[in-house]
């Protein structure tokens, strides 16, 4: 796995529960609902399990250090598999409560909460939906020869259903330079309007748009639920929220949005790979 991607314990637990058709319940202190006090403790209906469908962004994924010749260089802050949140979450949207997103816009976001900054109330949205329409799972065979990787489509044959054990002679080594891969490409895209919203959010929170540096991404699982959320004054609004939200994997990146105001896309593969043992003398 790429060293810039860290899979979490919570992803492994969810995968195990799904594989065994067992009920799934998030561990205490592992959900973003608890972190942000949004629908904390609300559980999914019986027979409904979380799935990957959202992403979070943060600006705490890198530190900066003095390099040679007085130059400043970024150093990734590495997440570990037991981390339950980003080092420093930033919202995708931060709007004055009186200028909140409309219902159609809200449908693209989750983890909505009201925050007060300098005496003003804002609606903050900390998760964005991952567009999965058209996503396809492919089977690939990956071969590595002299450091060069070749990817070809893998199609099982009857030989795969009827394998024969290899004959191992003395002095034969097992190696795993080749592997098979379940591949599913997804694109996490921020368009011009998305970037503008994040720049505006960081200007409000930090006093400068220069803090809008996406240096960490969290891929999040959860379950959608129709709920009521605070509106202006004592009113409430109907929104689709996420419950049992957990980070499945962390992705380290470095994207200063002040220089990417035309938008940016993060292309990821959320599949899994398994080594193929080969024989050599």
pLDDT tens sequence across 43-59: 999 999 999 999 999 99
For residue 142 the two structure tokens come to 């990956």
Answer whether residue 208 shows pLDDT above 50: yes
- Exposure b/e, 237-257, CB count within 10 A at least 16 = b: eebbbbbbbbbbbbbbbebeb
H/E run at residue 9: helix 9-19
Contact 212, 198 (CB under 8 A): yes
Same domain, 207 and 99: yes
Same domain, 87 and 179: no
Answer whether residue 223 shows pLDDT above 90: yes
User: Would residue 121 count as lying in a domain?
Assistant: yes
Q: With CA atoms as reference, report the closest residue to 121 among 231, 263, 34, 211.
A: 231
User: Would residue 281 count as lying in a domain?
Assistant: no
Write down the mean pLDDT value for the chain. 92
For residues 137-160, average pLDDT: 89
Residue 38's domain comprises 5-134+186-275
For the chain, the C-alpha Rg in angstroms (whole number) is 22
Same domain, 219 and 105: yes
For residue 259 the two structure tokens come to 């220089």
Same domain, 179 and 190: no
Same domain, 116 and 16: yes
Same domain, 25 and 144: no
For residue 245 the two structure tokens come to 């939200």
Look at the block and give the residue holding tokens 């919570």.
10
Q: How deeply is 5 buried, as exposed, middle or buried, from its count of CB atoms within 10 A (0-12, 13-18, 19+)?
A: middle
For residue 126 the two structure tokens come to 């900390």
For residues 213-220, average pLDDT: 97
Q: Which residues lie closer than 8 Å to 96 by C-beta, 6 or more apart?
A: 120, 121, 122, 123
Answer whether residue 1 shows pLDDT above 50: no
User: Would residue 126 count as lying in a domain?
Assistant: yes
Higher pLDDT, 8 or 64: 8
Helix locations, 140-212, DSSP H: 158-161, 192-206
Same domain, 193 and 153: no
pLDDT per residue as tens digits for the range 67-120: 888 888 889 999 999 999 999 999 999 999 999 999 999 999 999 999 999 999
Question: What's the total number of domains in the chain?
Answer: 2
Same domain, 154 and 223: no
H/E run at residue 36: helix 32-36
Q: Write down the pLDDT at residue 278.
A: 57
Same domain, 150 and 247: no
User: Would residue 280 count as lying in a domain?
Assistant: no
User: 124 to each of 110, 120, 128, 135, how far by Cα in Å?
Assistant: 9, 12, 12, 29
Same domain, 179 and 198: no
Same domain, 31 and 129: yes
* 170 — pLDDT class (breaks 50, 70, 90): low
Q: Write down the pLDDT at residue 2.
A: 41
User: Would residue 237 count as lying in a domain?
Assistant: yes
């Amino acid at each position: 796995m790429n060293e810039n991607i860290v899979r979490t314990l919570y992803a492994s637990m969810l995968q195990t529960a799904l594989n065994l058709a067992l009920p799934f319940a998030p561990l205490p202190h592992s959900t973003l609902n608890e972190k942000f006090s949004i629908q904390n403790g609300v559980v999914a209906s019986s027979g409904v399990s979380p799935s990957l469908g959202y992403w979070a962004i943060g600006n705490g994924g890198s530190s900066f250090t003095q390099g040679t010749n007085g130059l400043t260089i970024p150093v990734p802050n590495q997440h570990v598999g037991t981390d339950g949140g980003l080092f420093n979450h930033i919202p995708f949207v931060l709007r004055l409560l009186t200028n909140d997103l409309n219902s159609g816009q809200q449908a693209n976001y989750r983890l909505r909460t009201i925050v007060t900054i300098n005496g003003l109330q804002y609606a903050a949205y900390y998760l964005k939906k991952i567009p999965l329409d058209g996503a396809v799972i492919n089977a690939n065979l990956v071969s590595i020869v002299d450091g060069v990787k070749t990817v070809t489509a893998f199609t099982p044959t009857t030989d795969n259903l009827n394998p024969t054990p290899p004959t191992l002679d003395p002095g034969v080594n097992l190696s795993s330079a080749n592997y098979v891969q379940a591949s599913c490409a997804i694109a996490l895209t921020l368009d011009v309007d998305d970037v503008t919203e994040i720049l505006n959010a960081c200007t409000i929170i930090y006093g400068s748009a220069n803090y809008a540096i996406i240096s960490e991404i969290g891929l999040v699982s959860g379950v959608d639920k129709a709920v009521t959320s605070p509106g202006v004054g004592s009113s409430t609004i109907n929104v689709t929220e996420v419950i049992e939200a957990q980070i499945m994997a962390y992705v380290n990146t470095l994207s200063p949005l002040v220089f990417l105001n035309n938008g940016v896309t993060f292309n990821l593969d959320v599949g899994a790979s398994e080594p193929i043992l080969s024989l050599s003398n």
